[in-house]
Chains A and B, each alone.
Chain A
Amino acid sequence: MDEFMLIFRHQDGTKIASPEQLQIWMKQTMDWIGQITAQNKFSGGNGLLFEDSRVVGHNHVVTDGPFGEIKETIGGYIIVKAASVDEAVAFAKGSPVLQGEGNSVEVRKIAKRDGGH
């Protein structure tokens, strides 16, 4: 069993949703994660906030970020256990993030400590 990281990319991460929209999104996401957890395949995850975020550039130039320059922002990630990348992709397809036009879920296999990929 491998571990895959599902990274949520948002086209417009700064757009503020209404409380009702937030409620729907929260329920869908919790249901989705709940289904993965029920199969004992959820390893963890978290949201990535705009709070205290910086971009450290070449020459150690620190900018407040990722505002402005970057069109796509990462809103969060989860790590799932899966037998294959196809299974991980099947999980990703259920993500409510994909309801937003321009949003995407990136699926990446996490390197194993023992080098056995």
Chain B
Amino acid sequence: MNQPDLIPHLFRKEYGKIVSVLVRYWGINHLEAAEDIASETFVTAVQTWVYRGIPVNPAAWLYQVAKNKARNYLKREQIFRSDVYPEIRNRLDASEQPDLDLSVDSIRDSQLRMMFAISHPSMAPESQIALSLRILCGFGIEEIAAAFLTNKETINKRLLRAKQKLRSQPALLEAPGPAEIAGRMENVLTTLYLLFSEGYYSISKDPAIRKELCLEAMLLANSLLQTQSPQKKDVFALLSLMCFQASRLEARVTASGETVPYEEQDPQQWNMELVSQGIYFLKEASGGDRISRFHLEACIAYYNTIKDDTPEKWENILRLYNILLEINNSPITALNRGYAIYKVKGKMAAIAATEKLRLANNQFYCTLLGELYSGIDNQKARAYYQRAIALAKTMHDRNTLQTHINRLENTAAKDGVLKNIFAG
């Protein structure tokens, strides 16, 4: 067994679980120690596996190592503390510490507490999400930066501030009450959606890994249904959105790992079980007194499960984006709306709306304008595509964009170039 992405994959799946359980046992003041122990667990694993082979159940193996490391850490802490403060010698008795409980239930409960602790309103939302992705999902700094469309330094600073904030309020990790759950739910949902998107749009070519990340986010979202909160309908909406998108996971990637644009996907390959699951969740999500961004996005995602391009479909999508933009003004929403305008009102209207956004440093902005100018002003289209290539972070994106430029030069531009980003 030599899976090409085994360690990064295990890291995303298990790192956050180990950190969450450790922090639940020890308190938030030991967050850094918990992170170190979780990281070291992977080093130990690799150091052993290279000689002895990869175990049948790697996760169980990791948990055992984490337990040993935790026990040793407590012993060391105890020695340190009893040396420094003899008066508290008996407070931290390692021999009385029960073994860490790394059962499925204990892990889920710890993850939930961690999610809500991180989503405390005293922290800026960006910091909360960055910290969640780091701690709960084991994302690297670069992956988080990519998710936020920003750079590594910004993320590092954000994480540092967020951790300081967390440490200053050790009570945060107690089981959240109804008020805490209500106040922090929106951030928790946003984080889970980012996690899901990371899996869905991941540049990793291994479909198993992408599916795993999406599934992990769906499981965490599902566990939120056990909490009592006024936003239960929002949770259902998020789950619905995730199901609709996940239905195309298989169809949007070829066996060799290439992305298949939405238009070229075979609807036979769409997972209709997930679509009906999504419809069920959407029904559960309706009937509340307000709609969240996830309600709107779930409805848009629902329209994308219908392959036929009718004018009604795109008019509905555009209307949904108009409302979505009012409650969640993000560059990606605005760009998606630009694409919907193109489908409803044509390229000129879409160009006018998109250029107002002035996002010259955004790869998707440049890609969209490249697409919109194709066949209208090919010189401008080429310039935008070239700018997008300069901004692109992966070879795959650069190659795709180059294909568009070549197509401009060869024939009159055709529609449908952008769909792998905006509707895939």
Q: Which residues of chain A have a CB within 8 Å of any CB of chain B?
A: 16-20, 22-23, 25-27, 29-30, 33, 44-52, 64, 75-76, 78
Contacts and interface: CB of A to CB of B under 8 A. Distances in A.
B43 A16 contact: yes
A100 B140 CA distance: 22
Contacts of A20: 7-8, 140
Given A17-B43, A22-B42, A51-B44, A29 B8 contact: no
B8 A19 contact: yes
A78 B47 CA distance: 12
Interface stretch (B26-34, B49-57, B338-346, B406-414): B49-57
B8 A23 contact: yes
Interface in B135-150: 138, 140
Contacts of A17: 43
Interface in B1-32: 2, 4-8, 10-12
Contact of B51 (A27, A46, A52): A46
A30 to B, nearest CB: 6
A-side interface mostly: mixed
A46 B52 contact: yes
B259 to A, nearest CB: 21
Classify chain B: how many residues form its interface, as a range. Answer: 20 to 34
Contacts of B42: 19, 22
Contact of A33 (B10, B12, B50, B76): B50
A6 to B, nearest CB: 12
25 contacts: A16-B39, A16-B43, A19-B7, A19-B138, A20-B7, A20-B8, A20-B140, A23-B4, A23-B6, A23-B7, A23-B8, A25-B50, A26-B7, A26-B49, A26-B50, A46-B48, A46-B52, A49-B47, A49-B48, A50-B40, A51-B65, A51-B68, A51-B69, A52-B72, A76-B47
A37 to B, nearest CB: 11
Given A16-B43, A27-B2, A47-B51, 8 more contacts: A19-B10, A19-B12, A23-B5, A25-B50, A51-B68, A51-B69, A52-B72, A76-B47
A27 B49 CA distance: 10
B352 interface: no
A75 B8 contact: no
B121 to A, nearest CB: 32
Given A51-B69, A52-B72, A75 B2 contact: no
Interface in B47-83: 47-52, 65, 68-69, 72, 76
A49 B140 CA distance: 25
> Most chain-B CB neighbours within 10 Å: which of A17, A25, A26, A27?
A26
A76 B76 CA distance: 24
B390 to A, nearest CB: 25
Contacts of B47: 47-49, 75-76
The 6 residue pairs across chains A and B that have the minimum distance between CB atoms: A47-B47, A19-B11, A23-B7, A29-B50, A19-B8, A45-B51
B46 interface: yes
Contact of A47 (B8, B48, B68): B48
Contacts of B50: 25-26, 29-30, 33, 47, 76
Given A47-B51, A51-B44, A64 B8 contact: no
A44 B7 CA distance: 23
Nearest to B5: A23
Contacts of B46: 22, 25-26
Contacts of B39: 16
Contacts of A46: 48, 51-52
A38 B51 CA distance: 15
Contacts of B48: 46-47, 49
A47 B50 CA distance: 8
Contacts of B11: 19
Contacts of B69: 51
Nearest to B40: A16
B142 to A, nearest CB: 9
Contacts of B7: 19-20, 22-23, 26
A7 B39 CA distance: 24
Given A23-B7, A27-B2, A78 B43 contact: no
Given A19-B140, A22-B42, A30 B2 contact: yes
> Most chain-B CB neighbours within 10 Å: which of A27, A33, A44?
A27
Contacts of B68: 51-52
Contacts of B5: 23
A54 to B, nearest CB: 11
Interface string B148-170: 00000000000000000000000
A51 to B, nearest CB: 6
A33 B43 contact: no
Contacts of A25: 46, 50
